[in-house]
Amino acid sequence: MTSRSPTFRLLAGLLVTLLAVGVYSVYTIRQLRALREIQSGTIDRNRLDSHLLLRIQNSLNSCALAMRDMLDADAIDVQRYGLGAWQPQFRSIRTDLEDALSREAGVSMADRDSSQRRYLADSFRQFWDSLDLVFRMAADGHPDEARIQIRNSLQPRQAALGSAVSRLLVANNANEEAAAQRTQEIYAGVERNVYLFLAAMLIVIVLTSLYLVQYYRRLFHRVADLSEQRRMLAERRRDLAQQLITSQESTFRSISRELHDEFGQILTAIGAMLQRARRRATRENITPADELREVHEIVQSTLEKVRSLSQALHPSVLDEAGLPGALAAYLPSFEQRTGLHIAYEKEGDDHEADKEVSIHLYRVVQEALNNVVRHSQSNRATVRLRFDMYTLTVEVEDEGVGYPEEISHGLGLVSMRERIDLVKGTIEFGRGKAGGALVRATAPYYQTETNAAD
């Protein structure tokens, strides 16, 4: 029974997770934006407003001190310079107050009552009008009336302005405390939501991990079962291939022996008899000599073909002279039969190898040369035999078009792979230096330690 793929469920879980992350991110961004607005739009602005109100309050206090000095009739400055001496000081205080008031109007809280703004503006205007009247009275020679105006009008107005500014400061302090409380609430809410979100994500991750662990455990069991089945099939295929190739080689050897021993001897005897008949006919001036010579040539050609077929099926020279001798005998006959020019190169000192290794490498050379003739579109090839310390390597390289698509998975290549696998070797199919096909097969000299010892 095939289990369903977890892709849909994993994608659904991923979508839910991304949606949760998106919702939480939007919520957090809004909370942080509100916090930023409280910080910059309320707290900082409120603090600047309070600073300007304190500046206004200090200026009002300076006015109160100046008016107290003006009411002191026994003061030396009053007696010497008169009330007009305080006019420059009040002018400086007025400039500072008007600057502070204009700045405060730009940063004051938006929720402040408009009546408070009008009250402050009207009160300051009335205060400055009364102050101008005091200085005019003093300039007209009525200092006593000017002092009465200060006592009855300016001082109450200054006190009222100071009270109004104090109330605004108290309101700003209350607003700052409320903003601080709101900030603490936002921080607490964000912190709580962070913990909740982390807990939810941890639960999702744990559940997803448990699901994946269970799924991959079942998957690994199935893969292990499939690997075991594949290994068993590979072993069976290898055993079958070995049995097939062994049976094939045994059959080739038997056929070769029969051809060589039976038909070869028969054809040799026929050839000898015909040659003797031709000599007798020649001595006795018998005319069938030409026919006998032709029969002799046919028999000799047939004998050569039988020997060639015997060598192709199972070269006896392979058992006697090893792989180098077998290749040295096979390549010239292959050249003569196919017209392919073959360069034979040998590197290293001759080293005896197992017969099984030699015959399989010999078959690889045969199959590779047959592919050159059939598919390479080249009339030149190179066969290399290299003796290394522990391995024997054969290479067949041509100057043709490489490996056509139709033979890239052909039976010939499969057969070569199977043969090299049987002797625990490696085989490569690539391109040579001239761009043609290159077959390189490498195998150890011995298949067992016992053989190596022998």
pLDDT tens across 331-381, in order?
888 888 888 999 999 998 888 888 889 889 998 998 899 889 888 888 899
Length of the chain equals 454
Q: Has residue 407 got a pLDDT over 60? A: no
- Cα-based distances in Å from 214 to 13, 219, 334, 383: 16, 9, 62, 56
- Cα-based distances in Å from 433 to 34, 388, 430: 73, 22, 10
Kindly state the tokens that stand for 374. Answer: 């059939």
Give the pLDDT score at 451.
44
Task: State the average pLDDT over residues 387-406.
Answer: 84
Burial 376-388 (b: 16+ CB within 10 A, else e): bebebbbbebebe
The ranges of the chain annotated as CATH 1.20.1420 are 7-213
The ranges of the chain annotated as CATH 3.30.565.10 are 315-453
**79-83, 364-368, 440-444: range with lowest mean pLDDT:** 79-83
Interatomic CA distance for residues 369 and 363, integer angstroms: 10
DSSP 212-280: HHHHHHHHHHHHHHHHHHHHHHHHHHHHHHHHHHHHHHHHHHHHHHHIIIIIHHHHHHHHHHHHHHHHH
CATH superfamily to which 315-453 belongs: Histidine kinase-like ATPase, C-terminal domain (3.30.565.10)
Which CATH architecture fits 7-213? Up-down Bundle (1.20)
Q: How many CB atoms lie within 10 A of CB 362?
A: 20
Interatomic CA distance for residues 256 and 253, integer angstroms: 5
Rounded to 10 deg, the angle between the 7-37 and 155-258 helix axes is: 160
Interatomic CA distance for residues 88 and 221, integer angstroms: 99
* β-pair type (380-387, 391-398): antiparallel
Kindly state the tokens that stand for 32. Answer: 């942080």
Rounded to 10 deg, the angle between the 155-258 and 289-313 helix axes is: 140
Give the phi and the psi of residue 388 in degrees, each rounded to 5.
-100, -170
* pTM of this structure: 0.41
